[in-house]
Amino acid sequence: MMAYILAVNPSILSATGMPKGELFTATAIAAIVGTMAMALLANLPFALAPGMGLNAYMAFTVVLGYGYSWQLALFAVFLEGLLFILLSVVNVREAILNAIPKNLKYGISAGIGLFIAFVGLQNAGVVVQNASTGVTLGSVTAAGPCLAVVGVLIIAVLHHKKVRGSLLIGILATWVLGIIAELLGWYQVNIDAGVYSLLPSGIVSMPEWIGTIGGACFDMEAVQGGLAGGDFILNLLVVMLSFMFVDIFDTVGTLIGVASKADMLDEKGQVPKAKQALLSDAIATSVGAVCGTSTTTTFVESAAGVAQGGRTGLTS
């Protein structure tokens, strides 16, 4: 259910000037490493990939907003991952997780869900930007919004009927309806506007290797980006700490939300094997940065596997 990140993450991070093809490969590698670490170290049904929100923060706030190089941002993510590995080993990160009140943990999880829902509504054209109100409803007659609404209704009905794989069935059904709409001329392809053809073509191809962005966080000249001495250290610390705090609460909310869905929380509302889960998350973050992508974290979409009965690392 989180496969959309393979398309969305490159789309967001490429705004910084990073090559989109290589970002696709980096996203896939980070997801593989993170998910395998979670399965083997913690044996939990949680999948990992470069996180939504964290990628937007890196692209639009750190790089495009503050003007830092994307190499510096990757270096900050790499250092954040190393710091989290240390904090996870000595149980500090687990202590932070357990110290957060239960209601706040659930609130973070709900906030992540609302954010992802909003991104989906935007990409489908159900809501669009508006100069006066910020957002407004999109065209009710356009193919994209209508297909999105129909897809959600299909999933809702199947889920209510307790059909296994309701999410996947709903996605595939919506895709088929989209192909029909494109053949009939209702769904209009407009690549410049980000509306792509739904007809299958070029399904099998070699991935673009991460020659430009892989290991770019160790290119100190690019990382410094004109900053030197104390200015560089100060700016690096600011960026790293920003990523760290965002990642802490993102991970906490996701772990609590998915573990709650799986009925795996103990009587204190704590996640089982939290230390191993957080260590896996930290390892994935550093590996993802070396590959060339933003913070890799646990995905709330893991709840899809949990909803179908998954309770071990084999699920993810």
Both tokens of residue 315?
């699920």
More confident residue, 289 or 258: 289
The pLDDT-based confidence of 129 (bands split at 50, 70, 90) is: confident
Yes or no: say if 240 and 57 are a contact pair by the CB < 8 Å rule: no
Give the pLDDT band (50/70/90) at residue 203: low
The model's pTM is 0.84
**How high is the pLDDT of residue 304?**
84
How confident is the model over 215-269, as pLDDT tens digits?
999 998 888 876 766 688 888 898 999 899 888 888 888 888 888 888 888 877 7
User: Can you give the pLDDT at residue 34?
Assistant: 96
> Which one, of 269, 280, 312, lies nearest residue 97 by Cα?
269
Q: Which amino acid is at 163?
A: V
- Classify the phi-psi angles of 98: left when phi > 0, otherwise alpha if psi is within -120 to 50, otherwise beta: alpha
Higher per-residue pLDDT: 269 or 167: 167
User: Quick one: angle between helices 70-89 and 229-261, nearest 10?
Assistant: 60
Q: What is the pLDDT of residues 1-55, one digit of tens each?
A: 788 899 889 989 999 999 999 999 999 999 999 999 999 999 999 999 999 888 9
What is the Cα–Cα distance from 184 to 199, expressed in whole angstroms? Answer: 12
Q: Give the pLDDT band (50/70/90) at residue 152.
A: very high
Q: Crossing angle for the helix pair 92-99 and 274-291, nearest 10 degrees?
A: 110
Distances, alpha carbon 30 to alpha carbons 59, 132, 149, 151, 195, in Å = 18, 39, 31, 29, 27
Mean pLDDT of 49-66: 91
User: Model confidence over 271-285: pLDDT tens digits?
Assistant: 889 999 999 999 999
What pLDDT does 229 receive?
A: 64
